[in-house]
Amino acid sequence: MVCLGNICRSPLAEGILKSKIAEKGLDWIVESRGTGSWHVGGLPDSRSIEVGRNHGIDITDQRAQQIKKQDLSDFDLIYGMDTSNYNNILKMCHTDKQKSKVAMILNESQPGYNQSVPDPYWNDGGFEGVYQMLDKACDAIIARVNS
């Protein structure tokens, strides 16, 4: 799960997917990253923490990390939250195999639309909408990968 700073969207996506895989008893590793380094080591945005908590998900154990080239080999799927981050991840890829792992997260719930998850950082009211989008996408990820 990759967004810009790893404090708003991708921590929510990580928390949502972890919660769903725990409910299903799946043994998946889910982590999130940012393409930028501004927040490395910091907690998710307080508004992401709040919206997660409102839905029974605690993301306060997460700390912001920046995506590294090694992640492209270590993970089976890498989801960009928006077009900019998606393209930045692809620029890091050295092989077709790595490129094949990268996708826009909302294409899981709305295939082919290439829709971005809006960055709620500048819109306090946007966090709930982002949660709802990511919740649907995470349901679709589980349905597709676990089928």
Q: Mind telling me the catalytic residues?
A: 3, 9, 119
Contacts of 108 by beta carbon, 8 Å cutoff, 6+ apart: 79, 137, 138, 140, 141, 144
Q: How far apart are CA 111 and CA 30, in angstroms?
A: 21
Alpha helices in the chain (DSSP H): 9-24, 46-54, 71-74, 83-92, 96-100, 126-145
